[in-house]
Amino acid sequence: MAGKTWTVNLEGINHTIELEHGTWSGKRVIKMDGQIIEESKKLVDSGTDHFFMIGEHTCAIHIRSGGVKFKYDLSIDGVSAETGKATKMLDGTPVESKEDWVNKRRPELKTLFQHYVYGYLPPVPAMNFTIKKQDEDLFDGKATYKEVEIDLVLPGGNNHRINLALFVPNKRSGPAPVFMAVNECGNHQLVDHAGISIIEREWLHRGCKDDFYQRGTRAQVWALENTIDRGYALASFVVDDMDPDKHDWTDGIHAQYVGAPGDSLTRWGTIAAWAWGLHRVVDYLYTDTDIDTNRICITGWSRRGKTALFTAAMDERIDLVVPHQSGTGGMALSRREPNETVARITKSFPHWFNDNFTRFGKNVNKLPVDQHLLIALIAPRPLMDDAGLQDTWASPHLALEAMKAASPVYELLGEKGIVGDGFVRDTIGTVTMGRLLQYQRDTKHHLDIHYWNAMMDFANRQFGKSPE
């Protein structure tokens, strides 16, 4: 007979919840404080939730096969019993005010996510900004393209450069709101324009090799002219500028930054490196008078969606966040992930995270954080999760549950988080919403102009106005 025991606090009273699980017989017994509250001989399916009520609280025990052993997780009202509520400190102390959140819980969570998942970010370096090129005739005069060199002065005397592509609408009455996003293959692939430099790379991601020297090959994915038409700017750089997307610590910013914080387990991974680069883009945007620094938005697709979420969680200058189909290590809860588990993602892409995260692959329930707490770090800023309903690998249902578990922090800070079901299908329109929303379309792992329009619709609603 296998099983697990949890101690939980409900209405200020500690309770002991026990699961007895006959892994061969299928018998399942759930007890609270020694009393049986549910008993079943029905065969238990691995990877499913088994619900029961304790008073007005909806509880679920998630049973998952871990090879020769089963693994168990208890959630109460959608929140894992292991990580607890976003409005409680790690030691269980309640977070009861905005001051508690700002001065205690938020700093604690920032440290926990850097220590256990992504790695520690270095401090802000000295920087120099140079506009290398400027072309005011992009899209037949509708936009200006700026090629900005962001030169970072690193400890030890090394310099490192980010090549930023900034596209700004010309037809506007004031500074433009902006979306930031890193790209996979090069700035020149966002749009077919001869003025955008093609920067040679020593290493190319496998998805970039066949068409690297072709311009505009990903124009449909980025839908840039539409973004310009809607009054938004776009700022982007290729991820290789910070760190190539491969398991190698001898290249990119990792090789050049001497004395980065953390030890061998907690040093920054690739997602953290990309995020740190995006923070430097924000530094530049604050100097550019064409940009409205009260409407800086960030998005990213897949692994770059994970990056967008972590970037915004660590930098409150970012005003709105739209992770696009970000999955594990992004919006989806790690503990109940049936597809891309922590063990699987850290085996396939160990460089994305720090080495501490890899250690929890076989026992994710011991991880002291889960992704609802990263979402909580966005509060009270608006966040929309983009979900493709056929993209089951990204587990959009677990992203929605994570948002619901983060919602109390928004309420603590005086804003509505989740309103109603918390999602909208196909069109934003005039749907009643809080600061948290999941946007759903019946697509696979995909990004196109329809998703971009939804992002800007959401931003317009949250900012209370459209670009002028």
Residues catalogued as catalytic: 302, 445
Give all strands of the β-sheet with 2-10 in edge-to-edge order. Answer: 2-10, 13-21, 28-32, 35-40
* DSSP tag of 269: -
Q: For residue 221, what is the enclosing H or E element?
A: helix 219-222
Give the separation between CA 409 and CA 86, rounded to whole angstroms. 7
Residue 266 near residue 120, CB atoms below 8 Å: yes
Give the separation between CA 284 and CA 161, rounded to whole angstroms. 13
Please give the single-letter amino acid code of residue 365: N
Q: DSSP 3-state assignment of 217? A: coil
Give the separation between CA 82 and CA 72, rounded to whole angstroms. 11
* DSSP tag of 32: E
Bridge partners, residue 80, by sequence: 75
* DSSP tag of 352: G
Give the separation between CA 63 and CA 149, rounded to whole angstroms. 51
Residue 248 near residue 351, CB atoms below 8 Å: yes
Half-sphere exposure of 121 (CA within 13 A, CB side): 23
Give the separation between CA 320 and CA 327, rounded to whole angstroms. 19
Residue 75 near residue 52, CB atoms below 8 Å: no
Of 147, 61, 92, 78, nearest in space to 371 by CA = 78
Give me the phi and psi of 202, to 5 degrees please.
-75, -25
Residue 252 near residue 242, CB atoms below 8 Å: yes
Contacts for 400 with CB less than 8 Å, ≥ 6 apart: 385, 387, 422, 423, 438
